Structure 1
Amino acid sequence: MSDIHIRRQHGKTPTEARASAEHMASELKDEFDLDYAWDGDVMRFERSGVSGELAVDKQEVTLDIHLGFLLFALKPSIEREVHKFFDENFPA
């Protein structure tokens, strides 16, 4: 398996940060057919070949993605796309 790990300060209130995370998850669901559900401040998501979680706290947002074997070759393009979503939803 191949992993992607992103951690970023968000500079938002917890409510704003969660709303941004929800917006990002909704976009990813539409674009990549990801299923997701919240468990407290942690959103878990999955689809065939991909699983992970997005955790939101008072200061930062952390994303961990686990790519299955078949998506390993696509890791660079997936990582670029995820950074793009982070830049749009959690600008530095």
Structure 2
Amino acid sequence: MATVDITRDHQLGKEKARERAQQLADKLAQKLDAKCSWQGDELTFKRSGADGCIVVSEDQVRVKVKLGLMLTPMAGMVKGEVEKALDKYLA
């Protein structure tokens, strides 16, 4: 089992960062058939073989993805995709 854990600083403010996290979650839901839900400032997502969360604060966003055994070999690719998505949505 592999874990991808990325934290990025932002200057969007909490509400705007939360909106962007929702956009990212919508993309995840569509692309990966993931189920997403908010609990406070934490957006959790789950699909077969992977689950994780996006935690939004005033000046940081943290994405943590736990990959199941079958997806572990793809950890590097998943990390790259998450970083690319964060660059896009937090710009």
Q: Name the TM tier (shorter chain).
A: over 0.9
Q: What is the aligned partner in structure 2 of residue 86 from structure 1? A: 86
Residue 66 (structure 1) aligned with residue 52 (structure 2):
no
How does 1:9-24 map onto structure 2 within 5 Å? 9-24=9-24
Q: Aligned partners of 2:83, 2:66: CA distance in 1, in Å?
A: 15
**Contiguous gaps of at least 5 residues in structure 2:** none
Contact persistence 2:10–2:61 (CA under 8 A) = yes
Backbone CA RMSD of aligned residues: 0.8
The residue identity in structure 2 corresponding to 1:70 is M
Partners of 2:6 and 2:59 in 1: how far apart? 14
Q: TM-score, normalised by structure 2?
A: 0.95
Gaps of 5+ in 1: none
Determine the C-alpha separation between the residues in 1 that align with 2:74 and 2:66. 12
Report deviation, 1:78: 1.2
**Which amino acid is the alignment partner of residue 36 of structure 1?**
C
Q: Which whole-Å deviations, capped at 9, do the CAs of 1:9-41 have from their partners, x for residues lacking one? A: 111121101000000110111111111100000
Q: SS where residue 71 of structure 2 aligns? A: helix
The structural deviation recorded for 1:82 is 1.0
Percent identity at matched positions?
A: 30
1:6 Cα shift? 0.4
Q: Which amino acid aligns with 2:19?
A: A
Could you tell me which residue of structure 1 aligns to residue 54 of structure 2?
54
Using the size of structure 1 for normalisation, the TM-score is: 0.94
